[in-house]
Chains A and B, each alone.
Chain A
Amino acid sequence: MRPELRRLMTADLRGDVGPIGAFAAIFLVAVLTAGWTIAVVISIGSANYAFGLSESRPRVMLPLSRHELGRALWWKAIGYPGIVFTLACLLVMLADGLLQLSHAHASGNMILFFWAAFGLQAAAISWLGRAGSSLAVLAAVFLLLIQVRFWSGTQEEIFAFDLRVLVVAGFSAAIYLYFQPAPLLRIAGNRDRKTKLFAFLDRGAAARPGVVGWAGLSRRLALRLLPTVVAVAAASVFFLRGNREPHVIGSMLLSAETVLLMLASPTTFFAECALALPLFSGVRALRSLPLSVEALAARLIAVSLAPTSAILLTVFVCYRLLAVPQANLIGAAFAPALLLMASAQALWVPALAPRKPASLALLIPLAMLTLPMLLLYLATRPWAARLSASSALDPLASPAAAVLALAVIVIAYRATCRALRERPGGQAYLRKAA
């Protein structure tokens, strides 16, 4: 390996070890508390972050061939995250006592899954040509996995045939890209190619002149929320129809509760990223409008609450409609967590509002907030189960949860007001204060 290439790769590693390390830590906790799927999503998120960081112009100026540059990108996007997460996986399996020969097959599949995920991610992004659109890729990959899981036949292995095909495909992509890394360079260079997924929405919303001010913006956001809600409803239906018996590691993936969380958290995550968060890069623009700080804070909080609330409401409605036998228990378990999860989304508004977020650096605080929600869910589970067993209480009307959720929102609102008033916003101020 040439010294220049090695220097670039070391620089990349040093630059990225922080974020990937953070994600790995979150991954560990997530696996131990909520399950592998959440952990998988977080790991895909970290690969996304790695891509988001790659600056093509300074790289292209280096005295390295395209092949070498691509190779360095491979390590940045697949290699380093893959290794880090493999080690994390092994740690978890060791702790869980799964590192035995009888589970070798399953464990091996699990590790392969990460490499496959990173490989699929890289292949998809280099095809789409822009790191920012990978949110759509993530959503697509994730929903695809859910579909595959539903349509799979047996319960004996955690990975059915279809899923195995996906894993093989992803892993092959990862290996192929190692030897032919040139396509990876297409990332971050093309500004013109954009995701086709949301393009049709832009056309529709733009056609209305005269819808000005907040009304126009709200309408557009609501329109973008629609496909997410539809996707969540469809996924909920599929999963609830195919509810099965838990089994070993499969229990972590397939128990109804985890399914719900799995649906709600990442999808909310995506919805927030795509809809609410871009607005925060424009906070300085909003501050120059004739809006009082209170009005602006209220609107920002409302925008942050909208996606989660819509998604969770959809899931809950589907549960009710399908009259799933465990509905009451699940409802009881989830209602407090649902409300709190929704309100928790407001908590990162004061932290982010006056800042200008780099598009994907948000993944870290958001992923970190998924954790409290999960922990909250686990904390309220026994209490809620006890409640529903003892009485025919309608869980969504649980007063304590409602009060707590409201309190969280009010706290977030006041903190946002203070943050907007005190901080002028903009990247320059982040650097000055540092």
Chain B
Amino acid sequence: MTVAAIELDHLHKRHGDFVLGPLTLDVPRGVVSALIGPNGAGKTTTLDLLMGMGQADGGQIRILGRDLADHEVEIKRRTAYVGPEVSYQAWGTVGRAIDFVSGFYPDWDAARCERLVQEFELKRGEKVSALSFGAKIKLALVMALAREAELMLLDEPTTGLDVGSRRELFAELLAFMKREDRTILISSHQLTDLERFADHYIIIDKGRLIAQGPMDALVDRYQQLDARLRREPPRLEGLRLLERQGDRARFLLDREVAGRLDLAAEGIEVIGEVPLTLEELYLALVQK
């Protein structure tokens, strides 16, 4: 049992009115994990805290087996971050930004960097301020991939990217994962993409953990049921009412919690099962 890539233990932070946590979760090693949640759920706050941007009010963060508070620099040497407002405008051109960053990583691979720059159709002489949004993400990606990082954190890298660039991004991420010990944590709103490319999902809302698990267990764990009601449905643990029209209702069943329920006895006559996508599960879990 390898140690998890990221371990959060009762992490909490107050940010004005917003309270994150207490958050306790593990991001498993060697797989692609998707961090999902509505806007304002705390995804960016969490990812920022993982990079040491901002001080947590309490709790522990362990990354790659090391405590973040004590080994921040060492952790950053093995972690790559692609996120918002990471602006290299002050450095002027793409080439200068890359030169600057490369000086901090002894394991920088200049040949790979050149190959990636060409593949992403960037030019060294191009001004950073003149780059399109997608090109800026690609620049951050080049800097992240040109070294031997063990962990990659991506905060909404797909926002504003066109379809082709999204595919390129995920292709590069899967190529990154070819080595055994690499981990990715990606937060994104593109749930259809994540469903396909991610191995593990973590859903958070209002700063709290709602659900997590392996992506393929989604199908096993959650079921969407189309049912006819004989009487008022009771409030049951693990059974959530999604929609109701007269005596027809749609439920979300969490088999881990409510798998053994006798639904007929509760007055719920199951008509059929409706296949569930990640997007529908997400909407069902974070709905008001």
Contacts and interface: CB of A to CB of B under 8 A. Distances in A.
Contacts of B103: 212-216
B99 interface: yes
Interface string A387-427: 00000000000000000000000000000000001111111
B77 interface: yes
Contacts of B125: 206
Given A289-B76, A291-B73, A428-B85, A212 B100 contact: yes
Given A284-B53, A285-B87, A356-B85, A424 B16 contact: no
Main secondary structure of the interface of A (DSSP, over half): helix
A279 interface: yes
Interface in A165-217: 191, 202, 206, 209, 211-217
Given A216-B96, A281-B87, A290 B105 contact: yes
A421 B55 contact: yes
A164 interface: no
Contacts of A215: 103
A135 to B, nearest CB: 15
B89 A281 contact: yes
Interface string B62-101: 0000000000111011000101111111111101100111
B51 interface: yes
Interface-centre pick from B16, B90, B103 (highest chain A CB count, 10 A):
B90
Given A422-B54, A425-B53, A285 B88 contact: yes
Interface residues of A, number: 37
Interface string B31-59: 00000000000001100100111110000
A21 interface: no
Contacts of A216: 96, 99-100, 103
Contacts of B261: none
Nearest to A277: B90
A213 B102 CA distance: 6
Given A212-B103, A215-B103, A278-B90, A427 B85 contact: yes
Interface residues of B, number: 40
A422 B88 CA distance: 22
A288 B86 contact: yes
Contacts of B81: 288
B131 to A, nearest CB: 12
B54 A424 contact: yes
Contacts of B72: 292-293
B130 interface: yes
A282 B88 contact: yes
A288 B87 contact: no
A433 to B, nearest CB: 6
Given A424-B48, A424-B54, A356 B100 contact: no
* Shortest 6 CB-CB contacts between residues of A and residues of B: A213-B103, A212-B103, A424-B53, A290-B76, A426-B85, A424-B54
Given A282-B90, A292-B72, A422-B54, 7 more contacts: A206-B93, A217-B100, A284-B85, A288-B51, A288-B83, A290-B74, A356-B85
12 contacts: A206-B93, A216-B103, A282-B87, A282-B91, A284-B53, A284-B83, A287-B51, A287-B53, A289-B104, A290-B74, A423-B54, A428-B84
